[in-house]
Structures are given as structure tokens and as C-alpha cells.
């Protein structure tokens, strides 16, 4: 078995090997554009130094890993790990086309990726750490991969009820369902949203100097230039948020679709729909 290889499908990541991964792959550029403001916010919290060896956790199609490879230069190395083979194939092609030999990708489970302990100078993840089945074990393992003093930078979503447009879309959906399910304990986009759980989780895992800073800013919703209805269709039919509707009758889904499109029309301009979002930018040291 080589570094980072996966030998089982981890609990909680199965969706990324199924429909969630397929949707992410089919709409990769759109999802990446939606996350671009998060990368800007992470960059404001610090960068990896030239020559550094960096691990990009849950790297998806490798957009962030490639940016990190450029940041650390040819004397450094950027390695992206993702559970989804299709996304890693795209990432590998992109790095090849960009001529970045020091940017490598491995299909694997980041929770237990087999790298030498203490072998990274930076750990990075843009929205790739919320899907771990056993977060304490996963973060302890990740902390062990950084050398002493290595910089860790993770972005995770805040709770949906605090998160701008997501809160507004959820409020529309909630008027049509009895009780929203509790959020927080199961792997998923909002599993690390509570800073009172996140801070001890990371400290107990061995990270030091943990700081959790709130980011609020504009996020494009769906593809550039999308109409309010197209953006509503993207959110409800492509994003995992729309799965909340799965058990609802078609007539209710249509009503929700129209209400969400109406909401988006109030935030629509020539470049498409843009609304406020929020995230936590976590910085720590190994
Ligand atoms: C929201 S996407 C973010 C992708 C990428 N970081 C970006 O910003 O473009 C989450 C990624 O985490 C990956 N993922 C989920 N669980 C994982 C695990 N246990 N190990 C490695 N990758 C995982 C998914 O396959 C998916 O590509």
C-alpha cells in the first residue's frame, strides 16, 4: 500500500463516492467558484512559505492544491488527498496540464492517510474535514502528520441558521416540514459548525494555538450569470441542501422552488445571484 491509499470506504464518506461526488464532479467549476471567497478569506489568515510541504485534505478537483503548489514553489510540494477517484483524476490532469510536477494527488481516506508522522509543514482544507465518521481520531491523525509548529488552516461552514442565504433557503423549506432534524453529530457540511465543540475537538487532537474566526461575505450562488430560477434549481436539485426535500410531494417541491427563486431575484444582478454567507476559518499549529 502506498502513501495515502485507501483500503475501505469510510463511514460518512460513502456519499462522496456516490451521488454527492458525481454531482460535485459534474458541476465542479460552479462549486469551486462558489468556494472562491472562502479561499480568499483563508489567504488573509496566512500562507504556506516557499519550500513548504503541504497536505490538502479532501482536495476535490485539486483547485486549492494547485494554488498551494504555486505558493510553495518547486522547492516545496503540495499533496492532495480525496476519497473520490473521479475528482482525483481531474486534479491529476489539471496539475499535469499546468506543468506542476511538485503537485501530487492520491485517492485516499484523509482520516487515516498513510504519510510519515511529522512530514508536513502545512495542513490545509477548504470544506473537506466535515465528513469524518470519527472526528477525534481523524484530527489526532492529521495533527500527527504535521511537524512541530506546522500551520493548519481549515475552513468549515457555520451553522445553517447563522449562514446568510442558507438560513433563508432553510427557512423556506422549514415552513413545509414538521421538525428540522438536529444538526451537528453526523458527518455532513455542518458537522463542525459549533465552535464550542470544534475548539476542544482540535485541542484534544493535539493542535495548539487554535483560533476560530468568523468570516462573512458575499458568495455567488450557482454558475456565473445564472437566473434566479436556475440558481434555485441548482441549490435544490444539485446541492446536498436540496436533499431535505427528497421526501416531499412534487407540488410542494415546486412551491419551494418558486419561493427560493423569488428570494434569489432580490439578490440577482448581471453576474448572477450573490448573497451573504458565513464560515469559520480555523487556524492552529501542530
Ligand atoms: C465540499 S468538497 C470540497 C472540495 C475541495 N476541498 C474544494 O474546496 O474544492 C468536500 C471534499 O471532501 C472529500 N472527502 C469527504 N470525506 C473524505 C475523506 N474521509 N477523505 C478524503 N476526502 C474526503 C469529498 O470527496 C469532497 O471532494
pLDDT in tens, 70-92: 999 999 999 999 999 999 999 99
State the total domains in the chain.
1
Residue showing cell 488573509? 44
Nearest to 229 by CA among 274, 185, 187, 259: 259
User: What pLDDT score was predicted for residue 1?
Assistant: 33
pLDDT band at 172 (very low <50, low <70, confident <90, very high): very high
List strand residue ranges (DSSP E) for 95-251, in order.
103-107, 120-126, 146-157, 208-221
CA of 175 to the centre of ligand 1 (A): 31
User: Which ligand 1 atom sits nearest the alpha carbon of residue 131?
Assistant: 16
CATH code of the domain covering residue 55: 3.40.50.150
Q: How far apart (Å, rounded) are the C-alpha atoms in residues 3 and 1?
A: 7
pLDDT at 32 over 90: yes
* Distances 57 to 136, 254, 258 between C-alpha atoms, Å: 16, 37, 37
pLDDT band at 180 (very low <50, low <70, confident <90, very high): low
Which of 12, 27, 60 for mutating ligand 1's site (highest number of atoms within 8 Å of CB)? 60
Instruction: Write out pLDDT tens, residues 108-119.
Output: 999 999 999 999
User: Which ligand 1 atom sits nearest the alpha carbon of residue 21?
Assistant: 25
Q: Are 283 and 213 in contact (CB under 8 A)?
A: yes
Longest Cα–Cα distance in the chain: 58
- The values of phi and psi at residue 278, to 5°, are -145, 150
Domain that holds residue 183: 3-285
Amino acid at each position: 500500500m502506498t502513501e495515502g491509499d485507501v483500503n475501505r470506504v469510510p463511514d460518512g464518506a460513502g456519499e462522496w463516492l456516490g451521488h454527492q461526488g458525481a454531482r460535485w464532479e459534474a458541476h465542479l467549476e460552479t462549486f469551486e467558484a462558489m468556494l472562491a471567497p472562502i479561499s480568499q478569506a483563508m489567504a488573509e489568515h496566512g500562507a504556506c512559505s516557499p519550500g513548504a510541504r503541504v497536505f490538502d485534505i479532501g482536495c476535490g478537483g485539486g483547485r486549492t492544491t494547485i494554488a498551494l503548489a504555486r505558493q510553495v514553489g518547486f522547492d516545496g510540494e503540495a499533496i492532495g488527498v480525496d476519497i473520490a477517484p473521479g475528482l482525483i483524476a481531474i486534479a491529476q490532469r489539471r496539475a499535469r496540464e499546468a506543468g506542476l510536477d511538485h503537485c501530487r494527488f492520491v485517492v485516499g481516506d484523509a482520516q487515516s492517510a498513510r504519510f510519515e508522522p511529522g512530514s508536513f509543514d502545512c495542513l490545509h482544507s477548504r470544506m473537506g474535514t466535515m465528513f469524518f465518521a470519527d472526528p477525534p481520531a481523524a484530527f489526532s491523525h492529521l495533527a500527527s502528520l504535521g511537524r512541530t509548529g506546522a500551520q493548519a488552516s481549515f475552513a468549515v461552514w457555520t451553522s445553517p441558521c447563522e449562514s446568510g442565504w442558507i438560513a433563508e433557503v432553510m427557512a423556506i423549506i422549514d415552513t413545509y416540514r414538521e421538525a428540522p432534524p438536529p444538526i451537528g453529530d453526523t458527518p455532513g457540511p455542518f458537522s463542525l459548525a459549533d465552535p464550542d465543540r470544534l475548539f476542544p475537538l482540535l485541542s484534544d487532537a493535539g493542535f495548539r494555538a487554535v483560533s476560530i474566526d468568523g468570516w462573512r461575505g458575499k458568495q455567488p450562488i450557482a454558475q456565473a450569470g445564472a437566473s434566479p430560477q436556475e440558481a434555485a434549481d441548482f441549490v435544490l436539485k444539485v446541492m446536498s441542501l436540496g436533499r431535505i426535500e427528497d421526501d416531499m410531494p412534487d407540488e410542494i417541491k415546486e412551491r419551494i422552488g418558486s419561493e427560493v427563486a423569488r428570494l434569489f431575484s432580490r439578490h440577482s444582478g448581471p453576474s448572477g445571484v450573490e448573497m451573504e454567507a458565513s464560515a469559520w476559518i480555523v487556524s492552529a499549529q501542530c
